[in-house]
Amino acid sequence: MKFCSDCGAPVEFRIPPGDALPRHVCDSCGTIHYQNPKLVVGALPEWGERILLCKRAIEPCYGKWTLPAGFMENNETTAQAAARETLEEACARIELGEMYTLIDVPHISQVHIVYRARLLDLDFRPGVESLEVALFDETEIPWDEIAFRTIALTLRHFFDDRRTRSWSFHRSSIGPPAKP
Ligand SMILES: [Zn+2]
């Protein structure tokens, strides 16, 4: 950030009095521009034995598969965000279930949350951010083509829980990807 989004004056990056971390500070209007982690919220829509995945039409990870998910908007609940993203990316209507995974991703300052969900009908199609939307059973999951590690982890929990018929909420955190 170089300029104040409130008044347009140049900002300085420094530790404000009484604070512990450097912030973008506007000395013109006095605003301190805090930057905080972002929430990414999605759904894991089920249709019988199969689950719905979207093939991404945008970067990052263009062409890879993911659950419908995206950045939470202001003034909505996490549940609303999950349903909205599913409608936007897969044009699919769902009945939302329980919150299923919450994964901290501190190296990129994000928290990823996925809800379980039941697909209400088969009238889905790719939204503008998707190339393709399809249902997969466990044997068909393109594990090497999953866009994000948090999504792959959520899918692994799902199939493990389904196999053992012991559903629970999974909270974890992941670090930076290992260097190749
Ligand atoms: Zn300002």
How far is the centre of ligand 1, averaged over its atoms, from the C-alpha of 58 (Å)? 33
Tokens of 110: 């994000």
130-148: b or e for each residue (b if 16 or more CB lie within 10 Å)? beebbbeeeeebeeeebbb
The beta-strand segments (E) located in the chain are 12-14, 23-25, 32-33, 38-47, 50-56, 65-66, 69-71, 94-105, 110-119, 130-136, 170-173
CATH of 1-35, one of 2.20.70.10, 3.40.50.720, 3.20.20.140, 3.20.20.70: 2.20.70.10
How far is the centre of ligand 1, averaged over its atoms, from the C-alpha of 26 (Å)? 5
Binned at pLDDT 50, 70 and 90, residue 178 comes out as: confident
What predicted TM-score, i.e. pTM, was given to this entire model?
0.92
Average pLDDT, whole number, for the chain?
97
CA distance 116 to 44: 5
- Is 168 a residue whose pLDDT tops 80? yes
106-161: pLDDT as tens digits:
999 999 999 999 999 999 999 999 999 999 999 999 999 999 999 999 999 999 99
How far is the centre of ligand 1, averaged over its atoms, from the C-alpha of 6 (Å)? 5
29-43: pLDDT as tens digits:
999 999 999 999 999
Q: Please state the domain extents for the chain.
A: 1-35, 38-173
The domain 38-173 belongs to what CATH superfamily?
Nucleoside Triphosphate Pyrophosphohydrolase (3.90.79.10)
How far is the centre of ligand 1, averaged over its atoms, from the C-alpha of 38 (Å)? 23
How far is the centre of ligand 1, averaged over its atoms, from the C-alpha of 32 (Å)? 8
